Amino acid sequence: MSKKIAFLGPHGTFTEEAAHSIFENDQVQYISFGSIPDVLDAVAMKKVDYAVVPLENSIEGSVNLTLDWIIHEMELPILAELVLPIAQHLFVSTAQSSISLSQIQRIYSHPQAIAQCRRFIHNHLTHAEIIYTNSTAEAAETVSENPEKPWAAIGTRLAKELYSLTFLKESIEDYKDNYTRFIVVGENPLQLRSTQTPSYRTMILVTLPKDYPGALYQVLAAFAWRKINLSRIESRPTKKGLGNYYFIIDIEQKMDDVLLPGAFAEIEALGCQIRILGSYPYDVKTKDEVHS
């Protein structure tokens, strides 16, 4: 029986592109959901086998909604990660194809996409009101449903095709090395495409003991003296009062690496709690591999 994959929809999102790169298309059934919580709830409630959601962007940083939902609302692990190059395009309905940038009155897009194009918007779309949507494809859909309006959307090349829109400007992201990390969440182990040559990463959530000077320093030391490479450390509020944080740490090792259990034991001996969010393979696609 084919596996069901939930992704942030509607059709034409970057997340859908990521899902298509991760799974063998003929062996799965894709189901779109309108928001990140809906995608993650679908897998938590076993309506689907796996969920694909964005996690972090190289320009704008973490997708906090994804992080918070994974931490607070569910317990399923991260099973895989894919990093995709992201090009943000500006498009309008064909009826507006001769419009100039300064005549655009509204820009629709996902907050992450808007943030990746801040400088462009500031310099060229000064008169436009920004309207945030649940996804870039939802923005494209809204613009296509209102062809008589001087509105534009920011999103994927695929959305431009699917919703029969016209380019106003291609690749408007402020930094050309724009990448987003997408993760697969689910209960059961994942069969990845055989062409992928995975590197491994373990993502953990660390809660520090109260009033313990130097606790974070000692957590990091447990990795440092073992020469375990960390690629990200980020704090998120525990939501239990100001000044209370979790630390999310990305470790460039598999969970079964010999050194990792020792590091975790040392950290737990400090009185810290560790939750393993996932220990999984990841793949990075280059711009040449993806034509967005």
Ligand X SMILES: O=C(O)C(=O)C[C@]1(C(=O)O)C=C[C@@H](O)C=C1
Which residues make up the interface to ligand X (CB under 6 A)?
Answer: 8, 13-15, 54, 57, 63, 86, 110, 112-113, 135-137, 155, 180
Per the CB < 8 A criterion, the answer to whether 166 and 89 are in contact is: no
The burial of 38, by beta-carbon neighbours within 10 Å (0-12 exposed, 13-18 middle, 19 or more buried), is given as middle
Cβ distance to ligand X smaller for residue 52 or 204: 52
Q: Which two tokens stand for residue 122?
A: 């500031």
Four-residue CA torsion sign, 9, 14, 16, 22: negative
**DSSP annotation of 77:** P
Cβ distance to ligand X smaller for residue 15 or 279: 15
Q: Which two tokens stand for residue 32?
A: 């779109």
CB of 176 to ligand X, least distance (A): 14
CB of 257 to ligand X, least distance (A): 30
Cβ distance to ligand X smaller for residue 181 or 260: 181
CB of 135 to ligand X, least distance (A): 3
* DSSP state string for 145-157: H-TTS-EEEEE-H
Cβ distance to ligand X smaller for residue 89 or 110: 110
CB of 202 to ligand X, least distance (A): 22
Q: Which of 175, 183, 179, 151 is nearest to 165 (CA)?
A: 151
Cβ distance to ligand X smaller for residue 137 or 248: 137
Please give the residue whose beta carbon sits closest to ligand X in the complex.
Answer: 13
For residue 266, the number of C-alpha atoms closer than 13 Å in the C-beta half-sphere is 17
Report helix, strand or coil for 76.
coil
For the chain, give me the number of helices (H) and strands (E)?
Answer: 9, 15
CB of 70 to ligand X, least distance (A): 14
Cβ distance to ligand X smaller for residue 57 or 253: 57
CB of 157 to ligand X, least distance (A): 11
Between the two ends of the chain, the Cα-to-Cα distance in Å is 31
